[in-house]
Amino acid sequence: MKNIFKTLLIFAFVGNILAQQTPASKQITAFSIEGATAHLGNGKIIENSLIMFADGKITFVGSAMTKIARMGTTIKAEGKHIYPGFIALDATLGLVEIDAVKASDDESEIGIMNPHVRSLIAYNAESKLVESMRPNGVLMAQITPKGGAISGTSSIVQLDAWNFEDASIKTDDAIHLNWPGSFTSGRWWLGEDPALKPNSEYPKNIDKINSFLTDAKHYNSVKSDIKHLPLAATKGLFDGSQKLYIHVNGQKEITDAINISKELGIKNLVIVRGEGAEKVTDLLISNNIPVILSRPHRNPNSEDDAYDDTYTIAKNLIEKGVLVGIGMEGQMDRMNTRNLPFYAGTFAAFGVEKEKAVQMITGDAAKILGIDAFAGTLEVGKDATLFISDGDALDMRTNQISDAYIQGRKISLETHQTTLWKRYSNKFKAE
């Protein structure tokens, strides 16, 4: 009997540790946050602010000195900071749970041209990685497929939901194209020469992409009785309802990608990664093309680049008038997505004005995604997706979040990591 009791206790404990969080219920009570420094996400700040929201929408943004009745529950936040929820671009959250377990990996599909592959239906809203984003203020993300020449279609989600239907805030927003490089290097881990050399396959690879998109344009310009899913999935590129995100590095490659896309009649373009983009800013601006930069915490691509090129590229692009966001592509991208605010902080340390750095992961990110009508900034009528931080949210030392809301719902900031932290903290306190 004693052994049975112990077994039940063990199962109860394990079940508690592994249990999924329950998403917050729809907002019922209004909130008024008073006294904090509000970073609006559009470059503006309000000291001693008053932010009120009800039914999931922001109803007032202004000074706490304003003579207006407070709504619902009042939160005194003197000395703290309020930010719009941070938006992770080009992320793979919820697509892979354990890298070593193939069955949990939905990041990419077999094939080269996969515009019909939709990341949203593979998104796991209950992923342990998803819940670990929220304590750093990352409350929305663009879920992006990988692999092949055309990876598939991304969607934008909020990070507190029962399933992918509940999570989605913009479905099938863009198609993602991986542009080839004009230079290649050997695989050093296989003993090949790692030095850069011209890629003899570059023209051939471009021709394949051009040929597919040309076929897609013709297919979507006429009515056909033959259903071709990959070609049909590109319709939004040609009627303007979808954007084409081109993942590309290099001045020549960026120029080629833009010119070929224009020739095909694809106008809504976004450059992702974008090393070398600072050399073609006139082309980017004249075509109204934003750039989503790779994470700055990495080495330069070439030994001829300055050591700080990955840190200063944001400043150089913004000063020229290019709309810039921060993408998550790179090693351990899912785990590192939580560091999004600190990447913005690094760009701020290397020349980007502080509120502009906030804007890169809030208002400007929303503009790039096309969701700025209802998200990205603290403005009346927009979704109440925001959080309260004890200090500067772009500094890892002061990014301590006390409250967070998604569409007005007060969400949990507990994760399996905080549970374990508290558990072992108590253990050592007892000793």
Structure tokens at 81: 């900071």
Domain 86-371 matching CATH 3.20.20.140: the answer reads yes
Given a cut of 60, whether residue 299 has pLDDT beyond it is: yes
* 16: confidence class by pLDDT, cuts 50, 70, 90: very low
> What is the arithmetic mean of pLDDT over 307-314?
95
| pLDDT digit string, tens, across residues 329-343 | 988 999 999 999 999
Distance between CA atoms of residues 392 and 387, nearest Å: 12
> What is the arithmetic mean of pLDDT over 123-132?
95
Angle between helices 202-221 and 251-263 (to 10 degrees): 20
Distance between CA atoms of residues 360 and 324, nearest Å: 6
Residue 93: strand, helix, or coil = coil
Residue 256: its H or E element: helix 251-263
Given a cut of 80, whether residue 12 has pLDDT beyond it is: no
* 193: confidence class by pLDDT, cuts 50, 70, 90: confident
Distance between CA atoms of residues 84 and 73, nearest Å: 19
Of the options 2.30.40.10, 3.40.50.720, 1.10.645.10, 2.60.40.60, the CATH number for the domain spanning 21-84+376-431: 2.30.40.10
Domain residue extents for the chain: 21-84+376-431, 86-371
In percent, the amount of the chain with pLDDT more than 70 equals: 95
pLDDT of amino acid 13: 44
* 176: confidence class by pLDDT, cuts 50, 70, 90: very high
Asked if 379 and 84 count as a contact pair (C-beta separation under 8 A), the reply is no
Structure tokens at 54: 């009800």
User: Of 165-169, 226-230, 380-384, which range is least confident?
Assistant: 226-230
Given a cut of 60, whether residue 7 has pLDDT beyond it is: no
| pLDDT digit string, tens, across residues 195-218 | 888 999 999 999 999 999 999 999
AA identity, residue 93: L
pLDDT of amino acid 20: 66
Model's pTM, two decimal places?
0.93
